[in-house]
Amino acid sequence: MPKITLEVSEELSQQLAQVGDAWRQATSCLRLPELLALSLQQPAVPAQVYRYILDFLASNPTPEQIAEFKPTLEMQERLHTLLARSNAGELTPTELKELDEYERIEHLVVMIKAGNLSYLTS
């Protein structure tokens, strides 16, 4: 099994020393690889995307507001970039996961809108 040596800043070293036994237990040979693997796992899309949608839904929007709901300009630009890279066959596996998640989010938003659009014609 390969060994990895880490260099950390003095500040981080002091913080680790303050943690003491908990740090030693977490960095044991059995635990550190697991912690490193977990730290590399990133959500498919940034947390602020989910927060934006949840904040909107938590605001108790009217049916009209739901019908008008759309991604932020930043989200639209990122999706455009991912779609362009996908069309060019240049997506990385991480970007593919991100694009898939954006598609799931879009499907969810469409379902939410479909459930509320009937109220607009009443």
Q: Is residue 47 within a helix (H) or strand (E), and if so which, with residue range? A: helix 47-58
Residue 4 main-chain phi, psi, to 5 deg: -125, 130
Q: Is the pLDDT reported for residue 50 higher than 80?
A: yes
Higher pLDDT, 64 or 36: 64
Question: What band does 14 get if pLDDT is binned at 50, 70 and 90?
Answer: confident
Coil, helix or strand for 60? Answer: coil
pTM: 0.60
Q: Is the pLDDT reported for residue 76 higher than 90?
A: yes
Buried b (16+ CB within 10 A) or exposed e, 3-42: eeeeeeeeeeeeeeeeeeeeeeeeeeeeeeeeeeeeeeee
Question: What band does 21 get if pLDDT is binned at 50, 70 and 90?
Answer: low
